[in-house]
Amino acid sequence: MIDRKKILITGISGFVGSHLLDLLLCEGHKYEIYGVVRESSSLERIAHNLGHVKLVVCDLINSHAVLALLEKIQPDYIYHLAGESSVKLSWTNLFSLLNSNVIATLNLLEALRLQKNTQCKVLLACSSEEYGLVDKSDIPIREETPLKPISPYAVTKATVDLFGYQYYVNYGLSIIRIRAFNHTGPRRPEIYALSNFAKQIAEIEKNKKEAVIYVGNLNVIRDYTDVRDIVRGYVLAMEYCAPGEVYNLCSSKGYKLADLLEILISLSKYKNIKIVRDESRLRPVELPIIIGSSTKFRQTTGWSPEFNITQTLQDMLNYWRERV
């Protein structure tokens, strides 16, 4: 009988969680997969896989429920992807943000500590936003670059990151911290810039709106990776990365948002699309440039991106064409 590893994915019905589930199921019967959802969770992104995963309703903000969950499942791996991930919304959603990102994570770590479970590997999905405003001399950003978070979201992710390290040092928990840089692709919620642009183009193509794309700041430079490459990195991290260590996961390529919008428009039959700046889409503070170094992660795991940015944008545009 094959000894299948038990995997618990929090946030399994979300953008990244749904792609991770796709990838793990491609590996056949190697895993027994459990997914944490809330009562209110939409299952649209994982509807095609519902027969292959065991869903568990659990409020991660409830410490007793989390402890009971881990005692029942006894997972070998936990991919902790649940939480609020919008920088934009984080400015007006502070207490919900703290609960979803910090308290939920602490409840998982505390449950493992109370069980003295140092064998279960936990991947904490951290963020490049933790680095904040970096000097030009620090580009590309490496893991030792000081953390200077400037948005509420970034502060919560830095807090999760540091708690992960603390629980490793003090209690011996097997915590792997991955600072993922910007990632996008099909199923990305429309609140995020590139996905929003793709949806607007799909609406224009179907004559559901005028040939105008409303945008925020297009001058920022971001290090984008396809979400399918990111989740492949997460799986490799569980196999090869060392507990207690932190790793950047990124393409190490900087893309100006204006250039990516141009690519999206070029993928549409509608070329005469007007671009209009919408002040309501601007953030209180915007990081001008984020480009990371993934040298440490590549050397540890052998990972490299497989999707090019044009393919990513094409797939995202097609995703919205099917839905508008």
For 35-64, the pLDDT digits (tens) are 999 999 999 999 999 999 999 999 999 999
Residues 118-121: contacts with CB within 8 Å, 24+ apart? 118/171, 118/172, 118/173, 118/174, 119/76, 119/174, 120/75, 120/76, 120/77, 120/78, 120/173, 120/174, 121/76, 121/77, 121/78, 121/174, 121/176, 121/238, 121/243
d(CA 125, CA 99): 16
Q: Which of 11-15, 137-141, 206-210, 285-289 has the lowest mean pLDDT?
A: 285-289
Residue 1, pLDDT above cutoff 50: no
Fold designation for 5-184+226-251+293-305:
Rossmann fold (3.40.50)
CA 272 to chain centre: 33
Report the predicted TM-score, pTM, of the whole model to 2 decimal places.
0.96
- CATH 3.90.25.10 maps onto the chain at 193-221+254-290+310-321
Helix, strand or coil, per DSSP, at residue 247 = strand
Tell me the β-bridge partners of 287: none
Q: What is the distance between the alpha carbons of residues 102 and 83, in angstroms, rounded to a whole number?
A: 9
The pLDDT of residue 239 is above 60: yes
Task: Output the pLDDT for position 280.
Answer: 86
For domain 193-221+254-290+310-321, give the CATH number: 3.90.25.10
Please give the Cα distance from 209 to 195 (Å, whole number). 16
Q: Are residues 270 and 204 in contact, defined by beta-carbon separation less than 8 angstroms? A: yes
Residue 76 in this model has a pLDDT that exceeds 50: yes
Lowest-pLDDT range of 71-75, 85-89, 215-219: 85-89
pLDDT tens digit string along 151-187? 999 999 999 999 999 999 999 999 999 999 999 999 9
Residues of the chain with CATH 3.40.50.720: 5-184+226-251+293-305
Count Cα neighbours of 249 within 13 Å in the Cβ-side half-sphere.
32
Measured CA distances, 70 to 9, 56, 59, 116, 312 (Å): 12, 11, 13, 12, 36
What pLDDT does 2 receive?
A: 59
Q: What is the average pLDDT across 128-137?
A: 94
Rounded distance between C-alpha atoms, residue 302 and residue 138, angstroms: 24
The type of residue at 115 is Q
Taking CB atoms within 8 Å and a gap of at least 24, the contacts of 302-307 are 302/236, 302/240, 303/229, 303/232, 303/233, 303/236, 303/249, 305/225, 305/226, 305/229, 305/251, 306/226, 306/228, 306/229, 306/232, 307/185, 307/226, 307/228, 307/229
CA distance 234 to 24: 11
DSSP 278-318: -GGG--SS--SEE-B--HHHHHHH-----S-HHHHHHHHHH
